[in-house]
Chains A and B, each alone.
Chain A
């Protein structure tokens, strides 16, 4: 088995009496996207800062791109890129100057640096604004430049700390596309997010973080299976039809005012067919049918909404 891009065992960090990370384990295989999902204060940013050599861990074995961030930070730095939560661009410079600064600090030679700058400007759709000071940029443009600057050094492992926080939906999609492109190029990504949809869209595996520990870990699909909540929603034209449908289907949740029924279901084709067969058998007309599968929002609330998250560790699929 190839060496994982990131390996973390028993990572701990505390500020005084306040424990921020209480023994974190994670493994990120090379070339995959791993999402740390959790509310503010869960320890996501601290984890990223430790792995990217900004902070020191109190305890734990760490490997990033094959190196120990504490023992050999420069080897880790040479292999990683970080796009933090706060804009890491020089507002007084232009996009081209910012990227050229990164090329110089990555010790690229002049010609290679210029080639890389031009390429990244085009790739992130910044060519037109390349020579305007960054202070005049929109939030989305700033964020694109931020990521472009991270990529100048061709990092093998990229940390993205809440890469789309505060972006409008369109800029968010553009950012997602850029991230997917990176993955296609073989880069390993550790991203933190509060947006469940983002983890669902981008990540191969997700760890749900709460109070400095992982309360669940798995693929987005595995996590969704951890919780109930899927159902089929049926709407009827009249109360009489709702009555006969309710009789035919057995235990359901009914809402007479909205003329709807909710039938528990895993969202699969088999359960859907069974419901339709029963409705056919009772000769009931259905006005509208929707299938609701549990999304990461449900996972998140179920796993972190309880007072004692530790009690849920039994539900961890690992």
Chain B
């Protein structure tokens, strides 16, 4: 039924948006990152900023921490996606969809595109708040575009990870717990403090995890810090994770059908 791929995916996206309008997740997606932003800028920022750049203070830290906060927001979409997908899979409605002559992956693409739209909207709001508390990017429109691309890419990877978790979990509760560790990645990377300030073991782990090159790329694009090979690393990480999670999700989805 691939003839209806676009039409059915659009229908499922519309279903997602109807649900999102009634029970918006955007509050959760924006709320926690904004609270963390305020906490880190106004409580820890004065001291931490001096460690980032001598005498930099709060202003320097607002710049430094914003990419980390954005990734924190992105990490939380995995949980929401997993919950949404698991809800569908554990309720009767999935059997209805599976016994209809529709483009089968549309059930998942509705979640993916819907969550991505909500994610990008949430990121725009978080960036807006960051600007208010002292985030001062010096990016050109092209750099903004590239940063948006990077954020989209990493969001997609995280959302597909959430889809796979939602399909793997047997209950909605476990679906909500499975992607939790992702929240730690911005902290165990270069999100809040530079990795070279950490002890060797931790520093190595932080250096080589996927979120660090993403945050370095965004920092470089928006603030003009050095990017180095981070952009390539980040793109490779996100693409690989998306593909991996896509196939993981697909095998879980098709396996369910045969059970």
Q: Which positions in A face B, CB cutoff 8 Å?
A: 49, 52-56, 74-75, 77-78, 80-82, 84-93, 97, 101, 104-107, 133, 149-150, 153
List the 7 closest pairs (A to B, CB-CB), nearest first. A86-B92, A88-B92, A88-B96, A77-B101, A104-B11, A78-B101, A92-B19
Q: Is the CB of A55 within 8 A of B96?
A: no
Residues of A within 8 A of B257 (CB): 54
Residues of A within 8 A of B93 (CB): 88-90
Q: Is the CB of A105 within 8 A of B100?
A: yes
Q: Is the CB of B96 within 8 A of A82?
A: yes
Distance between Cα atoms of A37 and B253 in the complex (Å): 31
Given contacts A52-B99, A101-B11, A153-B100, contact A87 B91 (CB under 8 A): yes
Q: Is the CB of A101 within 8 A of B95?
A: no
Residues of B within 8 A of A105 (CB): 8, 11, 97, 100, 102
Residues of B within 8 A of A80 (CB): 99
Q: A107-B7, A153-B100 are in contact. List 15 more A-B contacts (CB 8 A).
A: A52-B99, A53-B98, A53-B99, A54-B95, A55-B259, A75-B101, A77-B99, A78-B101, A80-B99, A81-B99, A86-B92, A87-B92, A91-B91, A92-B23, A97-B18
Distance between Cα atoms of A52 and B23 in the complex (Å): 32
Q: Is the CB of A149 within 8 A of B100?
A: no
Residues of A within 8 A of B99 (CB): 52-54, 77, 80-82
Q: Is the CB of B98 within 8 A of A54?
A: yes
Residues of B within 8 A of A77 (CB): 99-101
Residues of B within 8 A of A104 (CB): 7, 11, 14
Contact with A84, one of B7, B8, B95, B259 (Cβ below 8 angstroms): B95
Say yes or no: is B132 at the interface (Cβ < 8 Å to chain A): no
Given contacts A54-B257, A77-B101, A88-B93, contact A93 B19 (CB under 8 A): yes
Distance between Cα atoms of A133 and B22 in the complex (Å): 9
Q: Is the CB of B95 within 8 A of A82?
A: yes
Distance between Cα atoms of A55 and B19 in the complex (Å): 29
Say yes or no: is B15 at the interface (Cβ < 8 Å to chain A): yes
Q: Is the CB of B11 within 8 A of A74?
A: no
Instruction: Give the size range of B's interface with the partner.
Output: 20 to 34
Residues in B73-103 with C-beta less than 8 Å from chain A: 91-93, 95-102
Residues of A within 8 A of B11 (CB): 101, 104-105
| Cβ contacts B1-36/A at 8 Å (1 or 0 each) | 100100110010011001100110000000000000
Say yes or no: is B258 at the interface (Cβ < 8 Å to chain A): yes
Residues of A within 8 A of B18 (CB): 92-93, 97
Q: Is the CB of B15 within 8 A of A90?
A: yes
Nearest chain B CB to A135 CB, angstrom units: 10
CB closest residue in chain A, given B97: A105
Residues of B within 8 A of A49 (CB): 95
Distance between Cα atoms of A224 and B111 in the complex (Å): 52
Nearest chain A CB to B59 CB, angstrom units: 44
Contact with A74, one of B91, B95, B101, B259 (Cβ below 8 angstroms): B101
Residues of A within 8 A of B23 (CB): 92
- The contact sample of 30 A-B pairs, CB cut-off 8 A, is A53-B98, A54-B95, A54-B99, A55-B259, A77-B101, A78-B101, A82-B96, A82-B99, A84-B92, A86-B91, A86-B92, A86-B95, A87-B91, A87-B92, A88-B92, A88-B96, A89-B93, A90-B15, A92-B23, A93-B18, A93-B19, A93-B22, A97-B18, A101-B15, A105-B8, A105-B97, A105-B102, A106-B100, A149-B96, A153-B100
Nearest chain A CB to B23 CB, angstrom units: 6
CB closest residue in chain A, given B257: A54
Nearest chain A CB to B88 CB, angstrom units: 9
Nearest chain B CB to A15 CB, angstrom units: 9
Residues of B within 8 A of A149 (CB): 96
Nearest chain A CB to B202 CB, angstrom units: 43
Residues of A within 8 A of B7 (CB): 104, 107
Residues of B within 8 A of A86 (CB): 91-92, 95
CB closest residue in chain B, given A49: B95
Distance between Cα atoms of A223 and B62 in the complex (Å): 80
Distance between Cα atoms of A92 and B17 in the complex (Å): 11
Nearest chain A CB to B10 CB, angstrom units: 8
Distance between Cα atoms of A104 and B259 in the complex (Å): 27
Nearest chain B CB to A184 CB, angstrom units: 24
Residues of B within 8 A of A88 (CB): 91-93, 95-96
Residues of B within 8 A of A55 (CB): 258-259
Nearest chain B CB to A149 CB, angstrom units: 7
